Amino acid sequence: MNLPFFYKPEKAAMNDIVVMDETASKHIIQVLRMTKGELLQITDGLGSLCTCVIQDDNRKKCTVLVQEYHFHPRKERQLSIAISLVKNNSRFEWFLEKATELGIHRIIPLLCTRTEKQHFRMDRMQGILVSAMLQSQQCWLPEISEPVKFGEWVKLPVGGAQKFIAHCLEQDEKKSLINQIKPGLDQQIIIGPEGDFTEAEISLALEQGFIPVSLGPNRLRTETAGMLAAALFSLV
């Protein structure tokens, strides 16, 4: 049976006493109705997985003792998605959730020419990543950056990674993403805003070595395209 799974950003080790924060403590004691002697697991989002026993079932400061410690190395292959923000926050949050569940390592919110401005709350976005990590019982929390301008990010050096751009313009050189992914290599892909990239943005990406790819015959919403790219990366 899977044990209840919680996030504690501070690193823990064997026999450490860990005090859970008030939110987690209330969930453990009031919602799950756990008591002294019961087991749960905590991760720091950096590969550590600790099995702990409840020592003090205080609903504001639940205290647990680390009984087992395991480190789960991250896969060497790094998967990154740079994706335009969208005007509907809930749709972008849905993408963050699904990308986390699928094991994406890094998410870069982009500000493209046609990106509609929106308020970006890093604390809320980080919370969604944490929830999705816990729900899928993973030990690695994806990295997410503050929004960055397309023209700045696309010029950053990326050593050895395959670089893709998915856009909607009809071009003969575009090939299916799934057929272009090479196992064992890092991959990153750029997903554009509602209304797609401008021709100037596409040209700039191609100049920087990005490979133009298709995600299928249908025109997809930004967040759907991002989720599909994440799924294809995870299959190879």
- Indicate whether 185 pLDDT > 80: yes
Percent of the chain with pLDDT over 70: 99
The C-alpha angle 111, 113, 114, rounded to 5 degrees, equals: 95
| Domain harbouring 37, CATH code | 2.40.240.20
Find the mean pLDDT for residues 175-202.
93
Instruction: Name the pairing type of β-strands 63-71 and 48-56.
Output: antiparallel
Question: Which DSSP symbol is given to 175?
Answer: E
The pLDDT value given to residue 169: 84
89 phi/psi in degrees, rounded to 5: -55, -40
Token duo for residue 170:
């009809």
The pLDDT value given to residue 172: 65
Q: What distance lies between CA 24 and its chain's CA centroid?
A: 22
Q: Convert the pLDDT of each residue in 111-130 to its tens digit.
A: 999 998 778 999 999 999 99
Q: What is the mean pLDDT of the chain?
A: 93
Given a contact cutoff of 8 angstroms between Cβ atoms, the answer to whether 209 and 163 are in contact is yes
The pLDDT value given to residue 135: 94
Find the mean pLDDT for residues 158-185.
88
**43 lies in the same domain as 64:** yes
**114 lies in the same domain as 46:** no
Instruction: Name the pairing type of β-strands 162-166 and 143-144.
Output: unpaired
**Residue among 109, 99, 93, 112 at smallest CA distance from 228:** 99
Find the mean pLDDT for residues 175-200.
93
Q: Convert the pLDDT of each residue in 66-82 to its tens digit.
A: 999 999 998 888 999 99
- Indicate whether 207 pLDDT > 80: yes
The pLDDT value given to residue 9: 93
**119 lies in the same domain as 219:** yes
**Residue among 174, 144, 143, 180 at smallest CA distance from 162:** 180
- Indicate whether 103 pLDDT > 80: yes
Instruction: Please give the full DSSP string across 112-174, using - where no structure is assigned.
Output: -TTPPP----HHHHHHHHHHHHHHTT-SBPPEEPPPEEHHHHTTS--SS-EEEEE--S--TT-
Q: CA-CA distance, 92 to 95, in Å (whole number)?
A: 5
Domain extent at residue 105: 79-235
Find the mean pLDDT for residues 82-108.
95
Place of tokens 């575009």: 174
The pLDDT value given to residue 130: 97
Which of 42, 71, 100 is the endpoint of a domain?
71
**124 lies in the same domain as 41:** no
Stronger pLDDT, 65 or 184, i.e. the higher one? 65
**65 lies in the same domain as 102:** no
Q: Alpha carbon of 102 to those of 94, 117, 141, 202: distances in Å? A: 13, 27, 12, 27
Name the domain count of the chain: 2
Q: Convert the pLDDT of each residue in 11-60 to its tens digit.
A: 899 999 999 999 999 999 999 999 999 999 999 999 999 999 999 999 99
**Residue among 55, 67, 62 at smallest CA distance from 29:** 62
Q: Convert the pLDDT of each residue in 126-153 to its tens digit.
A: 999 999 999 999 999 999 999 999 999 9
| Domain harbouring 189, CATH code | 3.40.1280.10
The C-alpha angle 38, 39, 44, rounded to 5 degrees, equals: 140
Q: What distance lies between CA 172 and its chain's CA centroid?
A: 32
The pLDDT value given to residue 1: 58
Cβ contacts of 232 within 8 Å, gap of 6 or more: 177, 178, 181, 215
